Amino acid sequence: MNIKKAILASMLVSSMLVAVADPIPAGAGAAQEQQLDRWTIQIDPKWTEKLNQAVKLFAGEDVQLHKVGKLDFNNKNASKITEVRSVDGKYSLQFDYDTGVIWTVSGKTATIDQISKQEQEDVLKWLKAIYPKKKYAFDNEVEVIHQFTDEKLSKTSKAEVREEKTYELKGKGFSASLHKLDGIPEHIGHITIDFDKKELDSKLLKTVVDAAQTVSTNKFEMTTAQLRVDLSPIISKNKPNITWVFHDGKVTICADPNTGKINSIYNELGKQVRENKGISEKEAREAVAPIVKKVFNIDMNGYSVKWDGTEKDFAFTKKNGMNVRAALDANKKVVYIRVGRAAAPGIIKYAADLEAKPH
């Protein structure tokens, strides 16, 4: 596997970290599967047999998959990376909905004692460095995510479950990934720590609620709050990145833990336009400027605006000014706004440097 594929593999696995939609519950009925939300997608029947064969290759037996999958929120601009799970909840795979190319297959097939004591200790050190006030203990069950060679990409035209893998370690209120990929040193990919509402700073929470209401008419009722840290040497370039992520099923807000300032707002119910026909740069500015001023305290006067055909959004720039990136729907309503470092083009979005280090 070359370094480009290794990078892609690392990105695909890490992207699972920021998928805002929950997995489809095991045992969901057919009627429920028809009730699709913004991030749920009906699996095209033409891919059914291929997906079944891939998960069978991994599991060693026939496995019943759901007929719907979840779009990866973080990769939505690049391609329709979709996760589909088995009915029993044990297995899953990630594939490109448009092309049918399968990237990973996974299963809850390992236990914590299969992870070395040193690797467990390394994860615990990072957890304690990030937030020392919590107690951390691993669950026994470990999910293993294997890289998958699709027959479309195979030199032998044969599908293969590769030995390259990622272990997903979980415990009460936290998770971490261990990457063992070709072309990349073994490393901790990401860490997430969950927080209850009562654990959050009231001033920060008010800021989040106020920001959410600028892109949604619904009252923000937080369902999850997480500190998310990316430690991948490829993605974070050996400089760990950390962000607060607040979510209520309709809106996601990201903030810098070092300053408490918001850097990203996502309206998950919005449908981002894929081309800028019918939306002029002037109209884009008029839609975005008031929210940017209110939430981020950035005056958009003097900013140039340009449609980004790769990201499918509008990039606002100004010499010596903070970059702003925004996506709109067909009605010129904001789908997301990102500022500063979070506005950099690309799949993975960051908030801030991680100041804490493990001892």
Beta bridge partners of residue 259, listed in sequence order: none
Lowest mean pLDDT among 9-18, 80-89, 92-101, 138-147: 9-18
pLDDT tops 90 at residue 106: yes
Beta bridge partners of residue 176, listed in sequence order: 169, 191
* Proportion of the chain above pLDDT 90, given as a percent: 62
CA distance 312 to 306: 11
How many angstroms separate the Cα of 348 from the Cα of each of 10, 78, 83, 134, 288? 11, 11, 18, 27, 22
CA distance 344 to 281: 19
Write down the pLDDT at residue 73.
57
Write down the pLDDT at residue 109.
96
Rounded to the nearest 10°, the torsion over CA 302, 303, 305, 311 is 180
Contact 248, 215 (CB under 8 A): no
Write down the pLDDT at residue 84.
96
Helix (H, G, I), strand (E, B) or coil at 60: coil
Instruction: Give the residue with greater pLDDT, 358 vs 316.
Output: 316
Write down the pLDDT at residue 181.
85
- The mean of the pLDDT values for the chain is 84
How does residue 80 score in pLDDT terms, banded at 50, 70 and 90? confident
pLDDT digits (tens, 9 = 90+) for 31-75: 333 334 567 889 999 999 999 999 999 999 999 999 999 887 555
How does residue 316 score in pLDDT terms, banded at 50, 70 and 90? very high
pLDDT tops 50 at residue 29: no
Q: Average pLDDT of 266-284? A: 90
Instruction: Give the residue with greater pLDDT, 186 vs 170.
Output: 170
Measured in Å, how far apart are the chain's first and last C-alpha atoms?
Answer: 34
Residue owning tokens 């460095």: 129
Write down the pLDDT at residue 253.
94
Write down the pLDDT at residue 294.
95
pLDDT tops 60 at residue 247: yes
pLDDT tops 90 at residue 114: yes
Write down the pLDDT at residue 343.
87
- Nearest one of 15, 54, 82, 13 to 346, comparing CA atoms: 15
* Proportion of the chain above pLDDT 70, given as a percent: 82
Residues 6+ apart with CB under 8 A from 118: none
For the record, the structure tokens of 145 come out as: 């995510």
Task: List, as own/partner pairs, every contact residues 46-51 make where C-beta atoms lie below 8 angstroms and the sequence separation is at least 24, other chains included.
Answer: 46/100, 47/95, 47/97, 47/100, 50/100, 50/102, 51/84, 51/93, 51/95, 51/102
Helix (H, G, I), strand (E, B) or coil at 222: coil
- How buried is 296 (Cβ within 10 angstroms: 0-12 exposed, 13-18 middle, 19+ buried)? buried
